Structure 1
Amino acid sequence: MENKLRLVQVIHPAHGRRIAMVREPELVFLTGFRAVYELALSALDNGQNLKSLILDSLSDETLDYSTVYQGKSEWKLLPSFDHPESPFHCMVSGTGLTHHNSALNRQMMHGDLEEKPTDSLRMYQMGVKDGSPTPGEIGVQPEWFYKGNGAVLRAHRQSLTVPYFANDGGEEPEIAGLYIIDRAGKPWRIGLSTGNEFSDHVMEKANYLYLAPSKIRECAIGPEAVIDADFESYSGEVSISRNGQTIWNSAINSGQKNMCHNLANLEFHHFKYDSHRIPLQAHVHFFGADAFSFGNKVMLENEDKMSIQWNGLGRALQNSVEVINPEKQVPPVITQL
């Protein structure tokens, strides 16, 4: 599968933000827009086809993609999608227990494969039974979690931090949906992006009711937003390296053919809430992981490198782990006003 129309968001210390289309081995700047969000909103406001607007906005300015991708340019990659004005106008969330291996990992966390199914495995089985309704029908709701506002988003090559209150930090190789709410409150899918939904599996393992706080962490999307991507089936690879040596890797699969919920059901249950359809809101929504190193008893350490590649979604997303020294992170002090 090869999706052609891919965008990146970049920033320069003197020239500010820009967006560019990937035309390997180059990036071609677009004129008139500094964010994918602005591009999508313009298409909606003017009744234009998004792909046509992108092609009509191409300039003659180019950059060498590899130089930017490798961090050797003054132009730096941003997250592949965000709200350019305020992180408070972007919701970052996700859906869990959508892949079989994820459900098995949860079963091992909170039970045993030989024991009776845990609540997590039962929820996955509910999805297998009723997670792919026919058009016009409503399927069973999936597990849902909140990660934060747009302030938690990180770009390719940026670190994902393990804060002082965390028990761990671990990669979650996922695909993220990118959305905008139009002025009338209708959600629109802009495209898909490679994502690392980084979370705290040790905290979650202590008690599955700790899932909610274990998810409130930084996460990464990018380097590219794929505008013409479907969500049928994707394969790829995730790997962890330490001191230049690969210590763990796994094949990964996603897309609705590999999941217990179809895309329509996941999107319905996310956007059924009025508070998730606030006009001009941006959404980044993770669709779940097929494999992660914690399931194989790998504990990530400071400066470990995480790499996630989905075939058809552009170049690999690479981030490092930064374990923050508790002495360098001061807990908030709350004072009565």
Structure 2
Amino acid sequence: MINTIRLVQLFHPTYGRSIAQVQEPDLVFLKGFGSIYELALAALVSGNKLSRLISEAATDEKLVYDSVYEGNSEWKLLPSFDHPESPFHCMVSGTGLTHHNSALNRQIMHGDQEEKPTDSLKMYEMGVNGGNPSLGEIGVQPEWFYKGNGGVLKAHGEILTVPYFGEDGGEEPEIAGAYIIDREGKPWRIGFTTGNEFSDHVMEKINYLYLAPSKIRTCSIGPELVIDADFDSYSGEVQISRNGLPIWKSEINTGQKNMCHNLANLEFHHFKYDSHRIPLQAHVHFFGADAFSFGNKIILEDGDKMSVEWKGMGRALFNYLKVAKGKPYEFPEVGEL
């Protein structure tokens, strides 16, 4: 599928936030909206399609995309979707064990291929057998995890940090969905975006029950949100570079044809909870990966560059890794009231 409606979110120190449509080699500003969230809300209020609002909001003002993408402009890329007013109104989460290779990596991490299947492999097989229900039926629920609120979202080119309490930091090349909840509590999908879910695999390997804290890390989405994308099948490449030279790369595949769950089942099980349908809430949800460098015993180092590119999802997303050094972060002692 050729995805033609691709948006970016921008920030300027003088002019503030704006959004633009990608029309290579340019970015075309859209008037009247400072965020994709506001654009989506306007579509819900007016009953118009996003594509129509985007067409009507297009201006003659343009930026050279290369300059912004390479960090040489006063205009800076923001995460491709967020809540413009408060990170607390955005939930960032994900679904794991959706791809065969991710289940195999977990099997190796927590067991032995000669031994009986681990719970991870069992959960993957549950998805194979029950993750593609017919229309109107409920399938088996997937693994689900919480990443944090919108404060964990980083943009293209920004740093992803291994905190002082972390054991490691490793890329997870994924596609994420962007959603908004309307005033009646119904979720609406806005589009899909390239993502690096970024997790602490060394911490996770210590014990299954450390999966939850291993996921509470920064992550990145962008640079573009694709409005007219489906979620059928995507291929691409993930790469790690050190000192300007590639040290590892792999082909990657995702989309429901490459997964043990279909999109409808994943969305149902995420939004079935009342607390995930709070009116005007924003959601960013990662859909899993089928390759990552940790599975090939690559340990990322300070300054490494992580790149993720999906064909049909716009330009590649890259971020740099930073390992927190020095004394642990000193925060105030918890007071008593």
Query: Whole-Å Cα distance in 2 between the matches of residues 331 and 148 of structure 1?
Result: 19
Q: Counterpart of 1:63 in 2: which secondary structure?
A: strand
Aligned to 2:141: 141
Q: Which residue of 2 aligns with 1:35?
A: 35
Which segments of 5 or more consecutive residues in structure 1 lack a partner in the other structure? none
Contact 1:124–1:260 (8 Å) recurs in 2: yes
- The answer to whether the Cα contact below 8 Å between 1:8 and 1:223 also exists between their aligned partners in 2 is yes
- Residue of structure 2 equivalent to 1:250: 250
CA contact (8 A) 1:235 1:253 kept: yes
**Counterpart residue number, 1:77:** 77
- Corresponding residue number in structure 1 for 2:266: 266
Corresponding position: 1:168 with 2:168: yes
**Pairing 1:297-308 to 2, within 5 Å after superposition:** 297-308=297-308
Q: Helix, strand or coil: the match of 2:120?
A: helix
1:169 partner amino acid: G
Q: CA deviation at 1:332?
A: 4.8
Percentage identity across aligned positions?
74
- Mapped to 2, the partners of 1:278 and 1:100 lie a distance apart of 33
Q: Are the counterparts in 2 of residues 163 and 326 from structure 1 also a CA contact under 8 Å? A: no
Question: Is 17-26 or 323-332 further displaced after alignment?
Answer: 323-332
2:125 and 2:105 mapped to 1: Cα distance? 14
Match status 1:156 vs 2:156 = yes
Once the 2 structures are TM-superposed, how far is the Cα of residue 336 of structure 1 from its aligned partner?
1.5
Task: Tell me the SS of whatever aligns to 2:107.
Answer: helix
For 2:50, give the aligned amino acid: L
Matches within 5 A, 1:118-137: 118-137=118-137
Measure how far apart 1:331 and its partner are.
4.4
Give the deviation of 1:334 after TM superposition: 1.3
1:115 corresponds to: 115
Cα distance in structure 2, aligned partners of 1:331 and 1:320: 25
The one-letter code sitting in structure 2 at the alignment partner of 1:142 is P
Give the drift of 1:329: 2.3
CA distances 1:201-247 after superposition (whole Å, capped 9, x unpaired): 00000001110000000000000000000000000000000001100
User: CA-to-partner distance for each residue in 1:155-208, whole Å, 9 max, x for gaps?
Assistant: 000000000000000000000000000011000000000000000000000001
- Which residue does 2:56 correspond to in 1? 56
Is the partner of 1:55 in helix, strand or coil? helix
1:254-312 deviation line (CA, Å, top 9, x unaligned): 00000000000000000000000000000000000110000000000000000000000
Task: State the secondary structure of the residue aligned to 1:327.
Answer: coil
Instruction: Supply the distance in 2 between the matched residues of 1:130 and 1:294 (Cα, whole angstroms).
Output: 29
| 2:278 corresponding residue in structure 1 | 278
Equivalent positions of 1:301-316 (< 5 A) are 301-316=301-316
The 1:326–1:132 alpha-carbon spacing in structure 2 relative to 1, beyond 3 Å, is: farther
How far, CA to CA, are the matches of 1:106 and 1:173 in structure 2?
A: 16
How far did residue 333 of structure 1 move? 2.1
Structure 1 residue aligned with 2:221: 221
Partner Cα distance (1:27, 1:107) in 2: 44
1:326 CA displacement: 3.9
For 1:9-28, list aligned pairs within 5 A.
9-28=9-28
| Aligned residue in 1 for 2:201 | 201
- Shift of the 58–177 alpha-carbon distance from structure 1 to 2, 3 Å rule, reads same
* Contact 1:153-1:221 at 8 Å conserved across structures: yes
2:97 is matched with: 97
SS of equivalent to 1:148:
strand
Measure, in 2, the Cα distance between the counterparts of 1:31 and 1:76: 18
CA contact (8 A) 1:222 1:317 kept: yes
Please tell me the residue identity of whatever aligns with 1:100: H
SS in 2 for 1:62: strand
Q: Which amino acid aligns with 1:299?
A: I
CA distance in 1 between counterparts of 2:143 and 2:71 reads 37
- The AA in structure 2 aligned to 1:305 is K
**Letter of the structure 2 residue corresponding to residue 146 of structure 1:** Y
Rounded to whole Å, the distance in 2 between the matches of 1:326 and 1:6 is: 41
For residues 330 and 298 of structure 1, the distance between their equivalents in structure 2, rounded to whole angstroms, comes to: 31
Whether the 8 Å contact between 1:7 and 1:22 is mirrored in structure 2 is yes
- Classify the secondary structure of the residue corresponding to 2:198: coil
1:81-113 Cα offsets, whole Å, 9 max, x none, are 000000000000000000000000000000011
Structure 2 runs not aligned, ≥5 long: none
CA distance in 1, matches of 2:314, 2:68: 14
Q: CA RMSD in A?
A: 0.7
Which stretch has the larger CA shift, 321-330 or 277-286?
321-330
